[in-house]
Structure 1
Amino acid sequence: MLPTPSLRDALYGFGICIAALLVAAIFFWLLADLAWQGVGRLDWTFLTTPPRNAGRDGGLAPILVSTSLIILVAMSVAAPLGVATAIFLSEFTPAGGRLARWMSLSLDVLAGTPSIVFGLFGGAFFCVFLGLGFSILSGGLTLACMALPILIRTVESGLRSSPIEWRLGAAALDLSRATLLWHVLLPAAAPSLAAGLSLGIGRAVAETAALIFTSGYVDRMPSSLFDSGRALSVHIYDLTMNVSGGDANAYASALVLIAFLIAANSLAFWFSNRIFGRRMARA
């Protein structure tokens, strides 16, 4: 005997709640384990001093600066290119056209490409061919290439979900396409832009393999974008795999990485709402 519609709805709702609670429980379990192992090492000195004794002692000051610069370079390149490409795909190409299909396929393939492949590409192109060497700039540009597919697809979906009536109304009012994009479509797609930035930042902050081949291992304070710099994820990997007795600092560094990720995601949502949210409210 099949369950009644009300019972099916209740079972579906129960299953969805269980799945959401399971995901949240896994996250808090990981967070609790990191806090249990590494919170004792966290203090102001840990955040403001350089690492010593191969990372067993000292802190993360140059690591945090290098990570921030790498993310800044990556998002400064990926955000304008990603938004422009998403606008081109959603507004200037037919949804079922050949160009749109090939670009969509390319983006899907790039989104699923292993990070080690991006690292090899970045090392060969940015470090060797362009002569940038192991540098923060090489690492940031490589991460921009990795973040672009996710950012483009997310913003494109947000733009395509805008009602067709908005476009028809803009055409009836004789508004230019640029005015429609800037004052109507992009503000409406602000949540998608924030989500794309968050996903891109998340992938960039947590990346290790690509940065080993591009930004390098150096743990000193960088003086420019052309200096080598060690990212937080690379530092955690090095402490865990190559430095005996570095587990305590590795756990503390992982906690800082999670806090850094939360702060970067919050900044991405604030930025999108600041730029486009007010414009949509005024409209």
Structure 2
Amino acid sequence: MSQTVSPTNPSARGALQTARSNPVGDFVQETLALTKRLFIQLQRRPSTLIAGIIQPLMWLILFGALFQNAPQGMFGDNINYAQFLGAGVIVFTAFSGALNAGLPVMFDREFGFLNRLLVAPLSSRFSIVVASAAYIMVLSFIQTAVIVTAGAFMGAGLPGGLGLATIALITFLLVLSVTGLSLGFAFALPGHVELIAVIFVINLPLLFASTALAPLSFMPKWLQVVASLNPLSYAIEPIRYLYLHGDWSWGSVVMQAPWGDVTFGGALGVLAGFAALALLSIQPLLRRTFA
């Protein structure tokens, strides 16, 4: 005889609820809803996106003008500074945006909205983190598209379709890792003042200790070592290689570090490893926060 589903039959009611539940679908729905909330906030305060687009354009224009009369061959044979600088601006813009990813979460903490989410019947509280990462990822791709387009008009050229897809992959790996670290700071630090201080301390030093503005050969030996350890350099140099070489492969040498040559595939491997390390490092903190 078949079992009747009724309010007085707990086992049947539980089976029906289990059959109707869809953890993956619920997680996706929650993530989309939380991501939409962040874009609604952006729509109400569009100055954030506008500033994020104007700043890299100013870098391109001002630094491009500053070095337009640089000696021939300073940045390489038959390379103008717009071609050299474009990769650095793309990476630094994505890095800066990802480094700020923890600020919305920190403000949610301070205003009490995060506590409401933590007590809400979410299928997974990790949707809070994934939504923040998705939001920053979209903004980074928008900024990257604007920079690539502006750079093309300024004489930097335009990589082919596969090259553009590879730039998107490099940007994704960098943003994923830095966003993870920023969200970790947001859950670990006591308030937004401390988080902003950390962002200021990290931001510009990592820029100047990379190959964004000058080649390794232009730096003193100690700074060459620092720049060769900087993850930003492993994102900048492959993108720069794509701009300067129509033919490339995973074995192409993109950077000559003090300890040896770094290939295209090796640089992407470093970025993937950095992303995995960053995400693994924040797991204990997230589990403690979401427990």
- TM-score, length of structure 1 as denominator length: 0.33
Give me the TM-score of the superposition, normalised by structure 2.
0.33
Relative contact order (C-alpha < 8 Å, sep 6+): which is higher?
1
